[in-house]
Structure 1
Amino acid sequence: MEVHAHTHTPRKKWTHYFWEFLMLFLAVFCGFLAEYQLEHKIEKDKEKQYIHGLLEDLHEDTGTLSETINEFDGHLKRNDTLIKLLTSDAIKEHGSDLYYLGRRASRSVRLALHDFTIQQMKSSGGFRLIRNQKVSKAIIEYYNRTVFIDYLNGIESNESDEYRKMAIDIFHPVTFNGIVNPDNTIARPENNPPLLTYDSKTLLRLAGMVSYIRNTKQGLMKAEIEMKMAAIELIQLIKAEYHLN
């Protein structure tokens, strides 16, 4: 009977297993580092994209705020004139002005911010990508200013509703309707159309409501002036912190 000799393979040293483990670990670790670096770069690029988008929106906001501030200035002047005419002894001589100013008194000025970028950041969870805490805080504070503006808009809306209820007893509806142009602007009526009443108490009540509307508009104007200043300061802060020219 033939006997076969067993071939004995030499046992691997522990250092061999150690180097195998080390090479495998390094391969996995390097892959992790590469993935981390890629993710970090993507997030950094996205942060830059958001920052540039915010700057564009803020520049647009400063222009829009300048326009609404100018509109408020015109509203305040017209309301001041209307109050004077409603309490004037020569009120019957100013029918055309009264109808024109009376029709415009309840018109509102609404601020429409350019908030595309901040809304995109909120919906996608991108706000966490703004790593600069100083900038992040300033952005939140800037957009939180709209809360107070919305509050004042609500007050003004209620005051304007009350004004309209009073106005129907003072201004003739045919004349009031006739001075509204197709593009929704107001035309000054010709001649000297009379009011429905010249009762002093009724006119004083209307003048008082115009005063309330005027003061609320003044508050809105002040809030928007402050918001415009905040937008300019935020632009400067972002440019300084992110080294943008």
Structure 2
Amino acid sequence: MEVHAHSHTARKKWTHYFWEFIMLFLAVFCGFLAEYQLEHKIERDRAKELAKNLYDELKNDSANVVLKSENRVKQENALKYLIKYFKDSSLTNVSKPFVLSFLYGINFRSPTLFEPRTIVLEQLKNSGALRYFKNNELQKLIGDLSVAINNINDRRELESSIRLDYINPLMIRHFDFDFQSQLTQDGSISIFDAANEYEKNMEIIPFQLKSLDKLDKQYAINILNNYCFNALNSTRTLHFKKYIEVNAEVLKLLRKEYRLK
């Protein structure tokens, strides 16, 4: 009868287990580092993409608000001219500068309207993507930008209500729409282009204020003063100015942080 001897497996030294643990730990740690680096790269890439989109949005608006401010200065000057004319001159036969000032000061509005674009800004706020911007100063400035935009929107509503309640009734009652029809060739030319051309040429198109017997000059002067100084001028010198300043600071910081041009 054969007797089988049992083979004994040699016990591994503790150092073997130690090195196995180290190798396993390093593998897990390196995997963690790789995932961490990947997440950070994704965040950096996302931050740069958002920064570029915000930069383009603000850069376009920075040029637009300057243009709208210049148009407002022209409108304010037109209103000041009308105010002085109402005070000092006869309204029976008005001058060409009066007519042009009536157009630029009372008729026109869209050339002075500034509506900031907020697509990217709202995306940053509503999606929580603002966290991708690690610079605290940039986050603060974006908050300041939102406040400036809200103030401009509030002012636009105020100006709209003044126009609706006071400016439009004044225009509807006293403006010579026969003049507008002749100026624009029965609407075949935009009123803006027609007025610009009329300002440059020597042509005189008849213009007669309507319902002069119902025109309260002092009331009209008060309306124009209110619209000029309490609406247009205040919005431009306070709220447009603040937006321009904050916009410039955000653009400057975005250029620095993300090397944008």
Using the size of structure 2 for normalisation, the TM-score is 0.77
Cα drift, residue 117 of structure 1: 4.5
Q: How far apart are the structure 1 equivalents of 2:225 and 2:103?
A: 15
Q: Which amino acid aligns with 1:208?
A: N
Q: Does structure 1 residue 41 correspond to structure 2 residue 48?
A: no
Aligned pairs (5 A) from 1:17-56: 17-56=17-56
Cα drift, residue 87 of structure 1: 3.4
Compared CA separation, residues 56 and 191, structure 1 to 2 (3 A):
closer
2:241 corresponds in structure 1 to 225
Q: Does structure 1 residue 170 correspond to structure 2 residue 140?
A: no
Q: How far apart are the structure 1 equivalents of 2:103 and 2:6?
A: 112
1:101 corresponds in structure 2 to 101
Q: Does structure 1 residue 141 correspond to structure 2 residue 116?
A: no
Which one of the candidate residues 168, 178, 190 is aligned to 1:183?
190
8 Å Cα contact 2:173-2:210 kept in structure 1? yes
Q: How far apart are the structure 2 equivalents of 1:153 and 1:16?
A: 77
- Three-state SS of the structure 1 residue aligned to 2:4 is coil
Cα drift, residue 101 of structure 1: 3.4
- Three-state SS of the structure 2 residue aligned to 1:93 is coil
2:83 corresponds in structure 1 to 83
8 Å Cα contact 2:115-2:153 kept in structure 1? no
Which runs of 5 or more residues in structure 2 are unaligned?
none
Using the size of structure 1 for normalisation, the TM-score is 0.81
1:153 corresponds in structure 2 to 156
8 Å Cα contact 1:76-1:214 kept in structure 2? yes
How many residue pairs align between the two structures? 245
Aligned pairs (5 A) from 1:52-71: 52-71=52-71
Compared CA separation, residues 14 and 69, structure 1 to 2 (3 A):
same
1:55-97 Cα distance to aligned partner (Å, 9 max, x none): 4444433322221111010000011112223334411120655
1:28-61 Cα distance to aligned partner (Å, 9 max, x none): 1110101111221232233334444444444433
Q: Which amino acid aligns with 2:161?
A: N
1:190-214 Cα distance to aligned partner (Å, 9 max, x none): 4443222223753432332222221
Cα drift, residue 98 of structure 1: 4.8
Q: How far apart are the structure 2 equivalents of 1:49 and 1:114?
A: 18
Q: Which amino acid aligns with 2:234?
A: G
Q: Percent identity?
A: 28
Q: CA RMSD in A?
A: 3.1
Q: How far apart are the structure 1 equivalents of 2:254 and 2:79?
A: 39
8 Å Cα contact 1:54-1:117 kept in structure 2? yes
Which one of the candidate residues 101, 118, 121 is aligned to 2:121?
118
8 Å Cα contact 2:83-2:221 kept in structure 1? yes
1:7 corresponds in structure 2 to 7
Q: Which amino acid aligns with 2:225?
A: S
Q: How far apart are the structure 1 equivalents of 2:207 and 2:107?
A: 20
